[in-house]
Amino acid sequence: MRVRTLAAVLLAGALALTACGKEGSPTDTAAPAGLFEVAKDVKVDGSPTFEKIKTRGSLIVGVKEDQPGLGYKDPTTNKYSGFDIDIARLISAKLGFDPEKIQFKTIQSAAREQALINGDVDYYVGTYTINAGRKEKVSFAGPYFVAGQDLLVKKDNTDITGKDTLKGKKVCSVTGSTPAKRIKDEKLTEEGNVLEFQGYSQCVTKLLNGEVDAVTTDDAILKGYAAAEDGKLKVVGKTFSSEPYGIGLPKDDKALRDKVNDVLQASLDDGTWQKIYDGTLGKSGSTAEKPKIDRY
């Protein structure tokens, strides 16, 4: 008991110190100390995006901020964390920029292509499935992870056991996402039973208060919500798609795509990718297969 009390006091002190240290900095984007070595004298010949970044002296990276474990912004500390965030930081370090030079910008699923086309972000890391339709507008490095569409329900739900049990059920997803499209294309529930919002956290709120029966998107995202809601929700666990996650890039910047693919490949080979996974998504105990980079 005394040991636990002491530990609690020490922890509280450490938290207080951390909080003090952050005062005055609106956004803490620092990576875990020493995780990524910042490359020197980086050149990406023929990359207009890299030229722009160099001139600006900082990076603007599109992310999600409401997906715990992947892309999450702590509302009290403004600190970003998650697998996607660390992948974004790794890329910035290998482009020669300290992680503190990243400005994260929240872009919801439906707005990703346009943000890249407009040049509002230099690259995008946020559960972004590589597919043919999107490749007409943007380009992708990766995949750096492969997820699968699944369902999130209340813990005590027994009648939703997979994609073919959704008829007559209210299902929530996000506008412009591949899971929302699949649920409609495959008519897994009636048209009027599909609810769409800008972010998955809005769907989770509706699920918790009983306004919808299920939330559908990638299993990796749903597992994060289930963990955050501490026993109130469960992931059904029968995936019904393959969602290869890519780094979204401006369409015509092949030089930058090749460079980012090199960075990802090196991280898969030297253990960095595994370290990032273990420190974020892997904390729940689930393992993941290393993805195979698809150069095109």
Residues found near ligand GLU in the complex (CB under 6 A): 109, 126-129, 174, 177-179, 217-218, 243
Q: Which is nearer to ligand GLU, 142 or 179 (CB)?
A: 179
For the purposes of burial, counting CB atoms within 10 Å of the CB of 27, is it exposed (0-12), middle (13-18) or buried (19 or more)?
A: middle
**Nearest distance from residue 70's CB to ligand GLU, in Å?**
9
**Nearest distance from residue 175's CB to ligand GLU, in Å?**
9
Q: Which is nearer to ligand GLU, 96 or 176 (CB)?
A: 176
**Nearest distance from residue 135's CB to ligand GLU, in Å?**
13
What span, in angstroms and rounded, lies between the C-alpha atoms of 248 and 238?
Answer: 27
Q: Which is nearer to ligand GLU, 53 or 224 (CB)?
A: 224
**Nearest distance from residue 242's CB to ligand GLU, in Å?**
10
Q: Which is nearer to ligand GLU, 18 or 242 (CB)?
A: 242
**Nearest distance from residue 136's CB to ligand GLU, in Å?**
15
Beta strands in 69-137 (DSSP E): 71-73, 80-81, 102-106, 123-124
* Distances 257 to 98, 132, 138, 149, 285 between C-alpha atoms, Å: 20, 16, 11, 26, 32
Strands 123-124 and 59-63: parallel
Q: Which is nearer to ligand GLU, 47 or 201 (CB)?
A: 201
Instruction: Spell out the residues 6+ positions from residue 202 whose beta carbon is closer than 8 angstroms to its own.
Output: 172
DSSP structural state of residue 76: T
**Nearest distance from residue 178's CB to ligand GLU, in Å?**
4
DSSP structural state of residue 40: S
Q: Which is nearer to ligand GLU, 62 or 250 (CB)?
A: 62
What span, in angstroms and rounded, lies between the C-alpha atoms of 70 and 64?
Answer: 8
